Each structure stands twice: as structure tokens, then as C-alpha cells.
Amino acid sequence: MSVWHASIEIMLGIVLLSLCACASTTGARGAPRDQPADASAVAPPVSWTLELTGAGLEHPRVFTYGQLDGMNMARLDDITQQKTHFPDERTSWRGPLLEDLLSQAGLRPGPMNFTLQGSDGYTKTCTREELNGAIVALQDGEGRRLVDVGRQVVTLIPPRLTGDYWIRNLQRIDVEPVGAAGEPG
């Protein structure tokens, strides 16, 4: 083999090694592998908030995504999400306890009705006892932010209730005292 052929083979080898090294650190569109190619898809909507309101609270509050993300995260592991039309699913979640948020808003003593509303207008009503142990999930069981894996921004996870009470993109909780006849007061 001539010196010229050996030089070309060495140069081709260097080019191939460079291409392999570049491919191993970036995705198909050139973005780092641990991040989506469109970085704007990672950031939660700046205007997203969770409003706690109603006569059952001494200090109604509005929490931003950033405030929730800065709170202590509770874990709910191997929670069964009961589904109506699909097989039940066991999942794990991380997020601040709903109880902590309600405490900051000054939840009054006594029986209360909680009306939960998602950003799409989906609404469910339940009691204080039914929400015991609930979290506002910001992360899945592996610690990935829900907004980063394309699911939603947050989800209310009440472990004692069926999946139709798992409110995606929870935006509002109205807390109202229960009257003597069991109706809102």
C-alpha cells in the first residue's frame, strides 16, 4: 500500500470516529439526548397557576408552577389508577401534598366539599376525607417532570379515589363548608 492510500485511510478513520462521537451525544435533530429537540416544549407555561378559593379557606391562595416545584415532594408509589374503559394501571408520582397547600391557604375546620377543576373545564366534587393523602403531581415515579414527558403540567392524584378524580392540569379548587343537610353551606 502506498503512503498516499495509508494517509486517506487514516483521514477517513478520523472522520468516522468524529461522526460516531457526535452521534452518541446528540439526538436525531442535533439536540442533547436528555432533552427534546424543541427546548420551548420543556418550559411549563408561565401563566399556569393553581387557585385555592372558597369560604372554607381563611386565606385563598394562588400557587405558580415554580412555587409548587420548590416545595417538598411527597411520593405515591404503586398507586392503582382505576379506569372505566381500560385496564387499571399501577403508577408512581411525586409532588407536594394537597394538605400542605390547603394549610397555607388556612383550611377551616369542619366538613368541606372540594370542587376540583382542570384547565379543560373538567370538574369533580369530593370531600376532605376522600382527598386524604392526595398530591399535586409534578413528576412521574422516575422523577421526570410531567411537562417534559409530554403528559401534562400537573395532575391531582387522590390515592383513595378512582381515575376519574385524577384531574389533569388542575387549575382551581373551590372549598366550601357542608351545610347541616349535607349541602354546601
Answer yes or no: are the C-beta atoms of 152 and 119 closer than 8 Å. Answer: no
CA–CA dist 63, 155 (Å, integer): 14
The predicted pLDDT at position 21 comes to 42
The dihedral formed by the CA atoms of 122, 125, 127 and 132, expressed in degrees to the nearest 10: -10
| Cell numbers given for 173 | 379548587
The predicted pLDDT at position 152 comes to 79
* Structural domain boundaries in the chain: 1-38, 43-177
Rg (CA), the chain: 24
Query: CATH for 43-177?
Result: 3.90.420.10
Give this prediction's pTM. 0.69
The predicted pLDDT at position 153 comes to 85
Q: Mind listing the pLDDT tens digit of every residue in the chain (185 residues)? A: 555 555 556 544 454 444 444 444 333 333 333 333 343 444 444 458 999 999 999 999 999 998 998 999 999 887 766 666 667 677 888 999 999 999 999 999 999 999 999 999 999 999 999 999 999 998 888 888 888 777 678 888 888 887 788 898 999 999 999 974 445 44
Side-chain-side CA neighbours of residue 95 (13 Å): 27
Cα 169 to Cα 4, 26, 98, 121, 146, distances in angstroms: 64, 31, 14, 10, 10
Answer yes or no: are the C-beta atoms of 140 and 19 closer than 8 Å. Answer: no
Length, in residues, of the chain: 185
| CA nearest to 158, candidates 109, 105, 116, 106 | 116
| SS3 label, residue 120 | coil
The predicted pLDDT at position 19 comes to 41
